[in-house]
Amino acid sequence: MEQDYSDLKGKTVFDFTDNNTAEKYALCTENEHIKHLSTNKWRVAFTLIKYATLTSNNKLLEAVVKQYKDIISSTLNE
């Protein structure tokens, strides 16, 4: 079954994988990620980009870049 990437805001890498896989890729623990979810949207976007890149998931990567473009752009301009 293909994943739905149409609305990534509010989702984390744990919506697409389990804790063991995320830790295997050294992304973060679930508790760390949940802590950042409400306070640091850039961290959420970066973790999704890193996961998409490490798993060669181009559809997820494109969706993250598109849906978080304002956050990514503002971070790069700082």
pTM: 0.63
| Any domain includes 63 | yes
Q: Residue 47: is its pLDDT beyond 60?
A: yes
Q: The domain containing residue 66 runs over which residues? A: 40-78
pLDDT digits (tens, 9 = 90+) for 33-44: 566 666 677 877
Number of domains within the chain: 1
| Any domain includes 34 | no
Please provide residue 70's backbone torsions phi and psi, each rounded to the nearest 5 degrees: -65, -45
| Any domain includes 6 | no
Q: Residue 75: is its pLDDT beyond 60?
A: yes
| Any domain includes 53 | yes
* Distance set, CA 12 to CA 43, 51, 71, 77, 78 (Å): 10, 10, 15, 24, 24
| Any domain includes 8 | no
Q: Residue 61: is its pLDDT beyond 90?
A: yes
Q: Residue 52: is its pLDDT beyond 60?
A: yes
